[in-house]
Structure formats: C-alpha cells, structure tokens
C-alpha cells in the first residue's frame, strides 16, 4: 500500500475507473455561507470517505511528480558518439598520472608514474614512496612497485597494502656479525626479501583454508577467499641511498629495466628482471624438474594454461584437486583445472621471486623503468630506454617546436601486422608529455598515429582487452641534476 501523505491533495481512481471530476474535488474546499470550522469538518469527513473507497489512493504532492520526463522528439537517425579526439587521448592517458620531486634521499631526483585501465575494474595496482630504513639507522629508503592482477583485482589489492610491510619486517630480522649495515652481503638481503614474498603468499593460501573451516558468515568467507581465487604478479624495487643499491624482486612478468647513459651520450638498457612465463626455458626446466614424469605441464608458452610461471594467489595451481572441487561446490570457487589439464602434484606455481641487487653509478645519469606487461607487449627494453632518453633530452633542449605533421592512411585492426606495426615503431615517436610515464604509454600505443592510439582507446571493457592490457608504469631518475623537478 502506498503511504498516506498529508501535504496537499490529488485524487485519482484506478485505471479502470473514472477519475474524480474537478467539480467533485472543488466541493470539498468550498461552501457558501459556511463557517471555517464547519467547512473544515466537512472537508475532513469527505476526505475520510474517499480514502475508504476501494480502488482509490491518495497522492498529496503539491508539485509535479519527480518521475523523469521522456519528451525528446522522435529520433530519425542513430547519432553515435565520435571516438577520442587528440585532447581526449591526452586526458585519458594522463588522468591517473603523478610526479614527485625527491629532495631528501640522495641520488634520486624525481619519479613519474601513470596507470591506464583496460579491464573494468582495472586489475593492476601500484605503490610508491619513502620509508624508514629497516636497519633503524635514521636514513630513508624508497620503494616503487607494480602489481599485475589477473582473474580479478583482489590479489593485487592485497599486495599493494601488505607486500612492502612483509618485506620490511623480514629485513629487520637480518643479523650481521658487523655493526655496519654496509657489510651485510647482498645475498643475505635477497634471501630476506624472498622469504617475505613466500610468507605472504603462504598467508594468502592458509588464510583461505582457515576461512573454509571457520564459523564466519558466508559473505565474510567469500571476501577472504577472493585473493586466493584471483592472482597477481609483483615487481618491487627498493633503493638504499647509503649503499647506492637498488634491490629488485620479481614474481611474474612485470619488468624492471635500468637505463644508463654512456660516455657517447647514448643510453644502455640493463634488464634487472626477466619475465617468468611458460616461454622462459629456464622456468620450464625448473618446473619439469619439480614434477618429473608429468608431460605437457608447459605447453604453448603456458603452465597448465597460465601465462606466468610464478604468481601470488592462483590457488587452482597450488591446491589439491579435491580441495578445488570442494571450494567450487561450497563457495563458488573457480572451476577446477581438470579435465582440461592433468593435475597430479600441485603446487605448480610459486610466488618465490628472483631478486637482483644493482649498484647505481653516481657518475652516470640513469633511470629505472618498472611496468606491467601491458606496456612491454609493444616495447622492447631498449626501445623503452631510448624513449625515456629522448624525453630527457627534450627537458634540456625543449620540445621540438616544428615536429612534422604525421600523415597516415586510414587503418583498422586488420592492418596490424599487415602493413601497420602492432608494436612500437620508431617513426611514430612523439614527445609532447610533461610526465615521462605518460610519454611511454602514448608511444607504446601508437605515438603520433592518432587514429591508431585513439582506436585503441575507443573501446571499453571487455572489448578493449583484445587490443590492449592494463598498463602501470613508473620511472625513477637517479643522478640527473639537469632534470628540473615536476
């Protein structure tokens, strides 16, 4: 029943009945030679009688209904919204950009970053900033990290909040025979970082198992299971200004590359991580050694269907088949890997990272690029480093004011790989962004070829996933005194 409101009056009958006439309605409020009290009494009596009439309801709004008015003229032709303009392209790739000058950590001048979503919601996450040295010596370290989620964003979100605290705690446990932090071998630090990665993934998996056995409400259990159902790569870089070293830990196929300026002014690309996928022969050999006698674990560049060979979460590649079936039935978990894949001796994936330590030469300008595979799908290490090098030169010399106007024939995606390069092409390079991470994203998607980059941005999820992935990019500048703070 509709509620009775007493602000004003409007009387309507059922659709099968005749509405009350205006004359009838007016009679409730008028009466010649009648006192106000008598008039009020008559009106209230009439109202009470009407409310009791079957098939009538009382609407008392003194203004028009709030129902939306659909009074547009009939459309003769479908008017489609046009694709992104050049300004809209720039806004799209720049809307989540950030840039920070660094003044309190020796050796670091500035860092830039951005993120461009393809999935809805974006499955990538990132973190960056400064934190106290884990050795409590009064100095500050810096960290940058990107997390490439898959099958959901939940694992990447958890890593964003918890991976660095796990690593910092593990580093505080490092003991050395010497009181001087600089004497701690890099291998000891690398083991501590590795242990933190493994401990966090174990916590994700064990928390899920404990949740299943607990007495929490169903909705709480499902929220706690989500980071185990989904998965994520992780790429963490930490800079220690005292030793001038960068520790890079990689689980998955996000990639870190150092660009270092050579005496001739050119930039050298130095990989600080290697993609851990089913196409990496060393990874395939490792997995085959761990699972002797099992054929076709690695096939077509994938590990039982998974692109990466190391990842957080991804419980189907870590739990027994019986457990997979149980969670599918009781908690809506992902479908078990069988019968499509032969699951015998899990786990097949690990979150154990490969950790490298690199000394940053204070006599050579350099920069560190960290990015999820969405960018590396179209750029090689050297191409990315060269793009940043050109951007740096433009900061010194100014953007070219007379860049030739790019002229291209109309294209569609069928032309990619058939006369039009899907990946980065040197001739499409453009320099027009103040943020170097945005500069990398723009050139990875098409550069000065407006139709190509706008076409890649025109489609939203889920259709955009066939032409581009989520992209998260960070660039850190070391010993570049000529680089003005953003």
DSSP states of 175-224 = --SSS-GGGS-HHHHHHHHHHHHHHHHHHHHHHHHHHHHS---HHHHHHH
Three-class SS state of 86: helix
Give the DSSP letter of residue 350. Answer: B
Cα 282 from Cα 285, distance rounded (Å): 5
Cα 371 from Cα 147, distance rounded (Å): 9
**Residue 304, pLDDT score:** 96
- Structure tokens that stand for 437 in this block: 């991470």
Give the DSSP letter of residue 96. Answer: T
Tokens 């032969």 -> residue: 342
CATH fold of 86-399+421-480: Phosphatase 2c; domain 1 (3.60.40)
End-to-end CA distance of the chain: give it in Å, rounded.
62
Which residues neighbour 258 within 8 Å (Cβ) at sequence distance 6 or greater?
246, 269, 270, 271, 272, 358, 366, 367, 368, 369
Is 202:208 a contact under the CB 8 Å cutoff?
Answer: no
Three-class SS state of 146: strand
Cα separations in angstroms, 307 against 275, 278, 482:
10, 6, 41
Give the burial class of 98: count Cβ atoms within 10 A of its Cβ; 0-12 exposed, 13-18 middle, 19 or more buried. middle
Helix, strand and coil percent figures for the chain, each rounded to 5: 35, 20, 45
| Percent above pLDDT 90 for the chain | 68
Cα 144 from Cα 437, distance rounded (Å): 14
**388, 392, 398, 400 alpha-carbon torsion, rounded to 10°:** -30
Is 104:140 a contact under the CB 8 Å cutoff?
Answer: yes
Q: Report domain extents, the chain.
A: 86-399+421-480
- Structure tokens that stand for 311 in this block: 């990842």
Nearest 5°: CA angle at 436, between 122 and 406? Answer: 95
How many CA atoms does the CB half-sphere of 112 hold within 13 Å?
21
Residue segments in the chain with a per-residue pLDDT below the cut of 70? 1-64, 175-182, 400-404, 484-486
Give the DSSP letter of residue 426. Answer: G
With CA atoms as reference, report the closest residue to 473 among 104, 93, 103: 93
Give the DSSP letter of residue 364. Answer: S
């Amino acid at each position: 029943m509709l509620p009775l409101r007493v602000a004003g009056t409007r009387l309507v009958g059922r659709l099968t009945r005749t509405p009350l006439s205006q004359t009838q309605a007016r009679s409730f409020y008028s009466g010649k030679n009648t006192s106000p009290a008598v008039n009020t009494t008559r009106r209230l009596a009439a109202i009470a009688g009407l409310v009791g009439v079957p098939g009538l309801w009382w609407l008392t709004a003194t203004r028009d209904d709030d129902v939306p008015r659909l009074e547009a003229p009939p459309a003769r032709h479908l008017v489609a919204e046009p694709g992104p303009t050049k300004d809209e392209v720039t806004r799209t790739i720049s809307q989540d950009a950030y840039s920070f000058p660094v003044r309190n950590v020796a050796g670091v001048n500035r860092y830039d970053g951005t993120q461009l979503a393809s999935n809805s919601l974006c499955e990538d996450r990132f973190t960056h900033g400064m934190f106290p040295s884990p050795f409590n010596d009064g100095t500050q370290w810096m960290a940058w990290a990107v997390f490439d989620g898959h099958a959901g964003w939940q694992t990447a979100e958890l890593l964003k909040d918890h991976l660095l605290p796990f690593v910092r705690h593990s580093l505080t446990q490092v003991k050395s025979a010497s009181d001087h932090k600089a004497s701690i071998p890099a291998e000891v630090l690398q083991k501590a970082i590795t242990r933190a990665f493994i401990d966090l993934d174990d916590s994700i998996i064990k928390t899920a198992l404990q949740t299943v056995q607990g007495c929490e409400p169903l909705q709480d259990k499902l929220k706690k299971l989500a980071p185990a159902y989904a998965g994520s790569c992780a790429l963490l870089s930490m800079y220690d200004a005292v030793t001038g070293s960068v520790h890079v830990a990689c689980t998955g196929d996000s990639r870190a590359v150092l660009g270092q300026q050579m005496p001739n002014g050119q930039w050298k690309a130095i990989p600080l991580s290697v993609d851990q996928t089913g196409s990496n022969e060393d990874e395939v050999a490792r997995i085959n050694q761990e699972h002797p006698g099992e054929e076709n674990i690695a096939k077509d560049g994938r590990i039982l269907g998974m692109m990466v060979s190391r990842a957080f979460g991804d419980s189907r590649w870590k739990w027994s088949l019986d457990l997979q079936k149980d969670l599918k039935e009781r908690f809506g978990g992902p479908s078990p890997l069988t019968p499509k894949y032969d699951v015998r001796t899990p786990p097949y994936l690990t979150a154990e990272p490969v950790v490298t330590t690199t000394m940053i030469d204070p006599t050579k300008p350099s920069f560190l690029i960290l990015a999820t595979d969405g960018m590396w799908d179209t750029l090689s290490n050297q191409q990315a480093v060269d793009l940043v090098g050109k951007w740096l030169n433009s900061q010194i010399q100014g953007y070219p004011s007379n860049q030739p106007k790019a002229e291209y024939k109309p294209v569609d995606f069928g032309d990619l790989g058939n006369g039009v390069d899907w990946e980065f092409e040197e001739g499409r390079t453009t320099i027009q962004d103040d943020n170097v991470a945005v500069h990398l994203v723009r050139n990875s998607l098409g550069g000065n070829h407006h139709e190509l980059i706008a076409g890649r941005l025109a489609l939203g999820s889920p259709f955009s996933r066939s032409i581009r992935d989520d992209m998260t990019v960070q660039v850190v500048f070391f010993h570049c005194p000529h680089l003005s703070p953003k």
